[in-house]
Structure 1
Amino acid sequence: MTRLGLLALATALPGMALAESHMAEGAGGALSYGERPFFLIEAMQDGPLKDKLMSCQGQSPERTAFSIAHRGAPMMIPEHTRQSYVAGARQGAGIVECDVTFTADHELVCRHAQNDLATTTDIVVSDLGAKCTSPFTPAGEGTEAAAECRTSDITLAEFRELNPKMDAADKTATTAEEFQGGTAAWRTDLYVDGTQLMTHAESIALIDSLGADFTPELKAASVEMPHDGFSQEDYAQKLIDEYKAAGIDPSRVWAQSFNLDDIKYWIENEPEFGAQAVYLDDRYEAEDDDEGLIDPMDPSSFKPTMAELAEMGVNYIAPPMWMLVTTDEAGEIVASPYAEEAKAAGLKIIAWSLERSGPLAAGGGWYFQSVSDVIDDDGDTYAMVDALAQDVGVEGIFSDWPATVTYYANCMGL
Structure 2
Amino acid sequence: MNRLVQILKVGSAMLLAAGIAPATVADDGKALTVQLGPRPFFLVDAMQPSPLKTRLQQCKEQRFEASDLSIGHRGAPLQFPEHTRESYIAAAVMGAGVLECDVTFTKDKELVCRHSQSDLHTTTNILSVPELAAKCSTPPDFTADKPFENVECRTSDITLDEFLSLQGKMDAGNSDAKTLEEYLDATANYRTDLYATSGTLMSHKQSIELFKQLGVKMTPELKAPAVEMPYQGNYRQQDYAQQLIDEYKQMGIDPSEVFPQSFNYDDLKYWLSSEPGFARQAVYLDGRYNDDGFDHSRPETWSPSMDELVAQGVKIIAPPMWMLVKVENGKIVPSAYARNARAAGLDIITWTLERSGPLNEGGGWYYQTTKAVIDNDGDTYEMLDVLVREVGVIGVFSDWPATVTYYAGCME
* CA deviations over 1:315-344 (Å, ceiling 9, x no partner): 000000000000111x11110000011001
Shift of 1:177: 3.1
Q: Which residue of 2 aligns with 1:410?
A: 409
Q: Which residue of 2 aligns with 1:357?
A: 356
Q: Which has the higher mean CA deviation after the structures are superposed, 100-109 or 163-172?
A: 163-172
CA contact (8 A) 1:138 1:173 kept: no
CA contact (8 A) 2:33 2:64 kept: no
CA contact (8 A) 2:140 2:148 kept: no
Q: Which residue of 2 aligns with 1:61?
A: 64
Which structure 2 residue ranges, 5 or more long, are not aligned?
Answer: 1-11
Are positions 1:294 and 2:294 aligned together?
Answer: yes
Shift of 1:111: 0.1
Q: Which residue of 2 aligns with 1:240?
A: 245
Shift of 1:139: 9.7
Q: Which 4+ stretches in 1 moved above 4 angstroms?
A: 22-26, 138-144
Q: Distance in 1 between matches of 2:144 and 2:134?
A: 20
Are positions 1:98 and 2:101 aligned together?
Answer: yes
Q: Distance in 2 between matches of 1:32 and 1:139?
A: 50
Structure 2: which amino acid aligns with 1:39? F
CA contact (8 A) 1:138 1:146 kept: no
CA contact (8 A) 2:136 2:157 kept: yes
Q: Distance in 2 between matches of 1:230 and 1:302?
A: 32
Shift of 1:30: 3.8
CA contact (8 A) 1:204 1:214 kept: yes
Question: Given the superposition, is the C-alpha separation of residues 149 and 409 from structure 1 closer, same or farther in structure 2, using an over 3 Å criterion?
Answer: same
Instruction: Find the partner of 1:277 among 278, 282, 288.
Output: 282
How much identity, in percent, do the aligned residues show?
56
What does 1:5-404 correspond to in 2, within 5 Å?
A: 27-28=30-31, 30-126=33-129, 127-137=131-141, 145-228=149-232, 229-286=234-291, 288=292, 293-329=293-329, 331-404=330-403
Shift of 1:350: 0.2
* CA deviations over 1:325-370 (Å, ceiling 9, x no partner): 00111x1111000001100110000010000000000100000000
CA contact (8 A) 1:115 1:149 kept: yes
Q: Given the two structures, how large is their TM-score scaled by the length of structure 1?
A: 0.91
Shift of 1:25: 6.1
CA contact (8 A) 1:72 1:80 kept: yes
Which structure 1 residue ranges, 5 or more long, are not aligned?
Answer: 10-18
Shift of 1:53: 0.3
Q: Distance in 2 between matches of 1:243 and 1:253?
A: 8
Structure 2: which amino acid aligns with 1:179? Y
CA contact (8 A) 1:257 1:278 kept: yes
Q: Distance in 2 between matches of 1:310 and 1:360?
A: 35
RMSD value, Cα? 2.0
